Amino acid sequence: MRLSKPRIPPLADDEIDPSTRDRFGGGPMLNIFRTLARSPKLMSRWLVFANHILGHNSMPPRERELVILRIGWLCRSGYEWGQHVAIGRDCGLEDSEIDRIPDGPDAEGWSEWDRVLLQATDELHADAFVSDPTWEALKTGYSETQCVDLVFTVGQYNLVSMALNTFGVQPEDGLTPLPRG
């Protein structure tokens, strides 16, 4: 974690407005949502997009989580990393794969397709652009819709990582810490 305490504190239970509370079905709210609820109109609109990326994305869930973890690691977002390690495991990522995500696309053990996804993520992070060779490789395994979803998945989690890091959103207890890099 870059910050040891939040710059924007998450809302306490008694500060959460009823419409925000209703969105989460009365269950527990993660610190990310408690923090973003400080801007309820933004959170309401952002959740539509975020729900598409996480729940309606055309990418296979394991591949989605692979790129989310890579962009979270590249952005040094401890909160994002911790949340998505658990989600990634649920989507089929093995611990050995999660452990080598920080080593990037050139690490031994990746399938050729995983290398392409990691390379595209690295290129988007470094240059906001996917190179022609990587784009051609993506097109061998993904439809146009999946390519669009890949770019927007990386962009969404780059944006979220910036917000989490800058606001100092603290992880919930028990999350896997971000590996050093």
Percent of the chain residues past pLDDT 90, beyond the cut: 91
Tens-digit pLDDT profile for residues 27-85: 789 999 999 999 999 999 999 999 999 999 999 999 999 999 999 999 999 999 999 99
168 versus 17: the higher-pLDDT residue is 168
Question: What average pLDDT does the chain have?
Answer: 96
pLDDT exceeds 90 at position 1: no
Q: How far apart are CA 13 and CA 2, in angstroms?
A: 25
pLDDT exceeds 90 at position 181: no
The pLDDT score that the predictor gives to residue 22 is 87
* Average pLDDT estimate for 147-165: 98
Nearest Cα to Cα of residue 23 among 56, 50, 53, 61: 50
DSSP readout, 99-120?
HHGGG-TTSTT--HHHHHHHHH
Query: Domain residue spans in the chain?
Result: 18-54, 59-167
CATH topology of domain 59-167: AhpD-like (1.20.1290)
82 versus 181: the higher-pLDDT residue is 82
Q: What is the DSSP letter of 25?
A: T
The predicted model scores a pTM of 0.96
